[in-house]
Structure 1
Amino acid sequence: MTTDAPGPLSRAENKLERALETAQEQVRRLICDHPAQIPIFTAAGRWHFDEDAWAPPWTGGFLAGMVWIFAERTNDPWWTLQAQKYSELLEPRKLDEGTHDIGFLFTPSWGRWHRLHPSDHTRDVIIQAGRTMARRFNGAGKYLPTWVDPGSTFIDVMMNVDIVFQAAELSGDAALADIARQHAMTTRRFLVRGDGSTAHEGWFDPDSGEFLRTATHQGFRSDSCWARGQAWAIYGFGSVYARTRDERFLDTARRCADFYIEQTGRRRIPANDWNDPAPEFPYEASAASIAAAAMLQLSSLAGPQGSRYREYAAGILERLCTPEFLGSWEQGYEGILKHAIYHRNNNLGVDESVMWGDHYFVEAVHRMTQGLGKAAGG
């Protein structure tokens, strides 16, 4: 006797497709209700549009990136038009020397635009953005500094070196690729610990290049492991390996992913910092969405061992697709992914939606439904 009832895989796929439909509806409402505005996080479930009290504006690439994903999936001209509009809003930032987040701005937006519809213009924008990012390079310490201080670098910066690599490939300028590689090597040496955990911030003497200490802004303390920073490391080192094929970066990405898995286990969704003995909130869902996207990328890079990361990412997404984490307009909630944290120590976007959490959730679900993770910006 045969049956038309879907098997477990089909049910899982249907759950992911429904989550993407919800995400599309949430983003469509954001665009229609707040045209040309780029939020950072929600407050009581509603998008918050005030100026970022912590960092120079850095979230526009995530909104544009989601819209490009919807344009790719649907072939709907409306989504393509919106993706172009929101990417064009960011174009002046290709010359912005006041932030280390150039990659966050341009890789999801113009990077996807160039992959889907390459042109001289998209190429030139990416090259200029990468050159702007590379100009931050401190040759003495061999690192890309943050906006905080010339002696500071974050684990987050690993997510911003891919735009430099892409600019190098598009322009043929090998010096750009060398800057990106040197920063990754410095981060690997000083911000990744022997157990695969990561420090949030490294401080250097900007004149001599001497490494001084680690610190944190958003984690529990300087020697702890902030969950979102760990997810940035998995993704960032995987992207560098995809560009360079240097096995040291694949090893680092795997060790960082293994630490995430060992610390989080069946919960799948970590708190803000694994070393906090009494976290006020049990979840930092944006760390989980980034980790899911990162592990799907890693699964496509790690050979036979990649199945472990794909299976764990699938478990993360299965949990994030439940009503506990997935927001909807019917619930009076404007974001996509609930229970994320922007900056606990500054009380910004705590137990809310955040734009990058939504973006990497959409990216991970998109990758999973396609059957595999593309490297670097897919």
Structure 2
Amino acid sequence: MSTPMHEVADGGVDTEHALDTAQEQVRRLITDHPGKIPVYTENGKWHFDDDAWAPGWTGGFLAGLVWIFAERTGEPWWREQAEKYSLLIESRKHDDGTHDLGFLFTPSWGRWHEIAPSARTANVLIEAGRTLAKSYNPAGRYLKTWVDDGSSFIDIMMNVGIIFQAGALSGDKRLTTIATQHSLTSRRFLVRGDASTIHEGWFDPKTGEFLRAATHQGYRSDSCWVRGLTWAIYGFGTAYQWSGDDRFLATAQACADLYIARTGERLIPPNDFDDPHPRLTTEASAASIAAAGLLQLAGQLGPAGNDYQDYARRTLARLSTPEFLGRAAEGWEGIIKKATYHWGNGLGVNESVMWGDYYYVEALHKLSALDDARGHSS
């Protein structure tokens, strides 16, 4: 029995074949729809209308995908496109109407700064971080969402890194303090004792008192919306990366352990772990985020993180099968199928979503680098 091209005989993943497939999907997106930034697909075709749920927040993922391919191939065309798509969102560095500036600027200008640091790239990242820091509530020590002054999401743990980076680049310790305090508040109020996560926490904006838990995209307020849990794995790992605070590493690890325990051998989780009758059993964007976050955690833990790396590798192998990996030959424009944006609002359900595609490719890129390093050292 022959082994499919996208899989290797030991049950792992052929990262180069998977990255080639993803690269061709993105090439088609940016050549067929130049300058347009989608959020999710409809019947496999990219949807370009304004986001009906949240202020536009996905431009950084498309730019980030293009930066990864520019780095991977060294081709001038990809580099030109990467700069173009980053420039398209540059003005958002002053957008104080969203809590998603990290999503916008870390994959895009953050990668640009990592590859070719300059005063300009540093300034963009600093300005974006300072803008997000304006949403800080000192009474409750949290960053508010666009929903309300009293609202904070677990998602913001994926955005707080831009404030840490702005603090490091500018030397502004106030920014570092804000990022640290928000992370501690999220750790206390949005991560439960069993390491499951609350989607939204409501605070009294005047006193800072925590009032209640809520959800927009999960089963109910006391359940565990899985994408939120994966935001926590990756986000607390990032907070540890910038701060060196072991409390954040411990939280990332606890969330990762719960995710692996509850997802198990199926490798791809549902939208919410506590929904007793899920209409869809897979939320592939959460699996993509988890794979990237677990690889980050594995790198931070060294040999003690080998189990996380193994689980990420097996997750990517599953995502790289025909069940989940989109192909143009099948009329599918996204990369990862069977993802969900907003179940309750019926947006991008059982489709591709930009962040699912981005974190899948980011995880493959990380894994490819690990495998290259292992090959060179053997």
Q: For each residue in 1:245-290, what CA deviation from the matched residue of structure 2 results, as whole angstroms up to 9, or x when unmatched?
A: 1110000000000000010000110000000001011100000000
Contact conserved, 1:168 with 1:177, CA < 8 A, in 2?
Answer: yes
**Displacement of 1:16 after TM fit?**
1.7
Give the aligned residue type for 2:216.
H
Contact conserved, 1:296 with 1:372, CA < 8 A, in 2?
Answer: no
Please state whether the residue corresponding to 1:196 is helix, strand or coil: coil
The match for 1:138 is 137
Q: For each residue in 1:220-247, what CA deviation from the matched residue of structure 2 results, as whole angstroms up to 9, or x when unmatched?
A: 0000000100000000000000111111
The match for 2:232 is 233
The match for 2:194 is 195
The answer for unaligned runs of 5 or more in structure 2 is 373-378
Q: Alignment identity in percent?
A: 63
The match for 1:53 is 52
Contact conserved, 2:13 with 2:314, CA < 8 A, in 1?
Answer: no
Q: Is 1:208 the equivalent of 2:199?
A: no
The match for 1:346 is 345
Give the aligned residue type for 1:144.
L
**Displacement of 1:321 after TM fit?**
0.3
Q: For each residue in 1:144-186, what CA deviation from the matched residue of structure 2 results, as whole angstroms up to 9, or x when unmatched?
A: 0000000000000000000001100110001100000000000
Contact conserved, 1:296 with 1:367, CA < 8 A, in 2?
Answer: yes
**Displacement of 1:304 after TM fit?**
2.9
Task: Give the TM-score, by structure 1 length.
Answer: 0.95
CA change 1:9–1:319 in 2 (3 A) is closer
Provide the C-alpha distance between the structure 2 equivalents of 1:169 and 1:27, rounded to a whole number of angstroms: 32
The match for 2:376 is none
The match for 2:127 is 128
Provide the C-alpha distance between the structure 1 equivalents of 2:237 and 2:42, rounded to a whole number of angstroms: 33
Please state whether the residue corresponding to 1:270 is helix, strand or coil: coil
**Displacement of 1:372 after TM fit?**
7.1
Contact conserved, 2:11 with 2:314, CA < 8 A, in 1?
Answer: no
**Displacement of 1:303 after TM fit?**
3.2
Provide the C-alpha distance between the structure 2 equivalents of 1:14 and 1:126, rounded to a whole number of angstroms: 34
Contact conserved, 1:137 with 1:179, CA < 8 A, in 2?
Answer: yes
Please state whether the residue corresponding to 1:103 is helix, strand or coil: helix
The answer for unaligned runs of 5 or more in structure 1 is 1-5, 374-378
Contact conserved, 2:12 with 2:313, CA < 8 A, in 1?
Answer: no
Q: For each residue in 1:322-378, what CA deviation from the matched residue of structure 2 results, as whole angstroms up to 9, or x when unmatched?
A: 0000000000000000000000000000000000000000000010011179xxxxx
Structure 1 segment 20-169 matched on structure 2, within 5 A: 20-169=19-168
Provide the C-alpha distance between the structure 1 equivalents of 2:8 and 2:171, rounded to a whole number of angstroms: 44
Please state whether the residue corresponding to 1:176 is helix, strand or coil: helix
CA change 1:46–1:9 in 2 (3 A) is closer
Please state whether the residue corresponding to 1:129 is helix, strand or coil: helix
Contact conserved, 1:103 with 1:161, CA < 8 A, in 2?
Answer: yes
Please state whether the residue corresponding to 1:153 is helix, strand or coil: strand
Provide the C-alpha distance between the structure 1 equivalents of 2:11 and 2:48, rounded to a whole number of angstroms: 35
Give the aligned residue type for 1:137.
Y
Provide the C-alpha distance between the structure 2 equivalents of 1:65 and 1:76, rounded to a whole number of angstroms: 15
Please state whether the residue corresponding to 1:86 is helix, strand or coil: helix
The match for 2:312 is 313
Provide the C-alpha distance between the structure 1 equivalents of 2:12 and 2:365, rounded to a whole number of angstroms: 11
Provide the C-alpha distance between the structure 2 equivalents of 1:342 and 1:166, rounded to a whole number of angstroms: 28
CA change 1:69–1:12 in 2 (3 A) is farther
CA change 1:243–1:352 in 2 (3 A) is same
Give the aligned residue type for 2:355.
W
Q: For each residue in 1:84-107, what CA deviation from the matched residue of structure 2 results, as whole angstroms up to 9, or x when unmatched?
A: 000000000000000000000000
Please state whether the residue corresponding to 1:301 is helix, strand or coil: helix
The match for 2:334 is 335
**Displacement of 1:13 after TM fit?**
7.1
The match for 2:241 is 242
The match for 1:376 is none
Task: Give the TM-score, by structure 2 length.
Answer: 0.95
Please state whether the residue corresponding to 1:214 is helix, strand or coil: strand
Provide the C-alpha distance between the structure 1 equivalents of 2:206 and 2:9, rounded to a whole number of angstroms: 58
Q: For each residue in 1:1-41, what CA deviation from the matched residue of structure 2 results, as whole angstroms up to 9, or x when unmatched?
A: xxxxx9x9787677221111010000000000000000000
